[in-house]
Structure 1
Amino acid sequence: MQTDSRPPVKIGPLRKLNRAIGKVVNAIEVVILVFCVAALGMLLITNVIARTFFQSIYFAEELSMFLVMLTTFTGVSYGVRKARHIRMGAFLDAMPPKMEKVFIIIISLVSAVVMAIMAWASWEYLLNAMTKGHMTPALRMPKWTFYVIIPIGFGLACIQYIRTILKNLIEKEPWQSPDQQSEYEDEQIGGTQI
């Protein structure tokens, strides 16, 4: 068996910080996504049973709307970071690596600008909702509390696209996202590859 004679690559403090932040953000996003999907499933099943035998849960629609919004806008950032967003993978795979890298940078730049515009517009919408003081009918919560996740989700997605651009400017090989080099990388779940 042949051993690698190259010296180990030293990781600088900025990369260590970036990796640590990435792990924390990833863990938070995964927990939020798992919780929301599980809670939504349990809420809907419970509401169906309650509606069949007793009376519908009066706040189920509002709570499910909030859980769907939380899942959607948390998932936007997660999808970008894990290269699970919609893209033209077949075209990129057919290109030479340098051209692929250029296209990834252009696509990420346009996407980052769109996400930044959406974050700004949703921030303005959130501020407008806060001044109106409207309450949800069932839970009697301020409606703006449901909208807080929207600018956060778009803003985090914008940051992930910017990270993708920087990763492609720094590294030699093209990267689909800041955490994923190839669309076909094996994912690991609980120590086993799928």
Structure 2
Amino acid sequence: MKNLLKKISIMTEKLERFLIMAGILVMMANSTANAIGRYAFNKSIFFSEELNQFLIVGVTFVGFAYAVRKGRNIRMTAVYDSLSQRAKKILTTVIALTTSLLLFYLAYLSVLYVLELKSINRLSPALQMPVYYVYAIIPVGFAMAGLQYAMSFVMNLLHKEIYVSFDVTEDKTDKGSAL
């Protein structure tokens, strides 16, 4: 089971890294080109702001999944830190399961939203492209984050240590960054 989860983890991490890196690089190139055009040639790229807004949506939702993978998601530990090791393990396992289910449900709802956008054929103002293309990344981000929590849940069931993500145990997290 762990080998299958490891393969899934490796594959999704590569996809997440590529999407985040590509999104940020395109935002940087777009913003730079727009600034050069505006100040050097007195002409802005008419779709620059809209493109950056779309890229921010993608980077946000895929970045969320990547943060969960690395155990860098926000965790409220005021009560958690006062619990016994066994209670921490149970709480972490329950949180991983419920969060995974919630994120999969949000992915489902966002698929319905994207399908609704497609059915009304809503176009973006500047690029005149169907907006459902852009918003299709939202269910992907939710599903990828849900998958990370599901894998954390499985790891907590199979191992003695407390797993905050598939590869990260509680003792490997930076205690100073946990909230």
- TM bracket (short chain): 0.7 to 0.9
The answer to which structure, 1 or 2, has the higher relative contact order (CA under 8 A, 6+ apart) is: 2
Q: What's the CA shift for 1:40?
A: 1.1
Q: 1-side partners of 2:26 and 2:5: how far apart?
A: 31
Q: 2-side partners of 1:128 and 1:185: how far apart?
A: 40
Matching residue within 153, 156, 170 for 1:182: 170
Matching residue within 38, 43, 52 for 2:39: 52
Provide, for residues 75-109 of structure 1, a one-character-per-residue CA deviation record: whole Å limited to 9, x for no partner. Answer: 12111121111002454444332111111112223
Q: 2-side partners of 1:93 and 1:42: how far apart?
A: 44
Matching residue within 80, 93, 97 for 1:105: 93
Identity of aligned residues (%): 32
Taking structure 1 as the reference length, the TM-score comes to 0.81
Q: Is the 8 A contact 2:71 2:173 kept in 1?
A: no
- Deviation larger for 48-57 or 139-148: 48-57
Provide, for residues 103-158 of structure 1, a one-character-per-residue CA deviation record: whole Å limited to 9, x for no partner. Answer: 11122233223212311221111010010012122222111101111111111211
Task: Report the counterpart of residue 155 of structure 1 in structure 2.
Answer: 143
Q: Is the 8 A contact 2:5 2:151 kept in 1?
A: no
Letter in 1 for 2:43: Q
Q: Could you say what secondary structure the match of 1:58 adopts? A: coil
Give unpaired runs (5+ residues) of structure 2.
175-179
Q: Could you say what secondary structure the match of 1:87 adopts? A: coil
Q: Could you say what secondary structure the match of 2:164 adopts? A: coil
Q: Does 1:36 align with 2:18?
A: no
Matches within 5 A, 1:109-128: 109-128=97-116
RMSD: 1.9
Q: Does 1:22 align with 2:9?
A: yes
Taking structure 2 as the reference length, the TM-score comes to 0.87
Asked which structure has the greater CA Rg, the reply is: 1
